[in-house]
Amino acid sequence: MVSGRCYLVEELAKKTDNFIVATDFSPRVLRHSRLDLKQLGLYDKISLISFDARITPFKDGAVNILTSNLGLSNIEKPKNLLKELRRIVSGRLMSVIHFYPEVDNENTNIIYK
């Protein structure tokens, strides 16, 4: 989620045979990432989809593992984002940055429900 230049996606794709869906708000960024992934020979097991992470096209519980590398903190109004992530993720959410203050009980409660 919020894959940007797909640096984390690239590393994951090198280490797994699983299919990966990489997303970002910017189609332009994903087009650039597609070229990089094709050049590395990784694009055949990756789909790139552009959408607003606060309103995803995924069904409830459809995502088993969701990762993000430095992108979630760029999203305004994270309350909406956290509710959406809670809705779509049935397994694990791993983010390489915290995106709300430690004392933000409202968002903490959404994550740990």
Domain annotation covers residue 2: no
The CATH number assigned to the domain holding 97 equals 3.40.50.150
Distance CA(61)–CA(11), nearest Å, equals 25
Domain annotation covers residue 1: no
Domain annotation covers residue 79: yes
Q: Whole domain around residue 30: which residue ranges?
A: 7-111
Residue 34 is predicted with a pLDDT of 95
Residue 8 is predicted with a pLDDT of 87
DSSP single-letter state for residue 103: T
Domain annotation covers residue 80: yes
Beta bridge partners of 89: 63
Domain annotation covers residue 26: yes
Domain annotation covers residue 88: yes
Give the HSE-up count for residue 14: Cα atoms under 13 Å, Cβ half-sphere: 8
Residue 58 is predicted with a pLDDT of 94
Domain annotation covers residue 28: yes
Residue 35 is predicted with a pLDDT of 95
Q: How many domains does the chain have?
A: 1
What is the mean pLDDT, run by run of 10 residues, along the chain of 113 residues?
84 92 93 95 95 93 88 76 91 74 71 67
Domain annotation covers residue 42: yes
Residue 94 is predicted with a pLDDT of 83
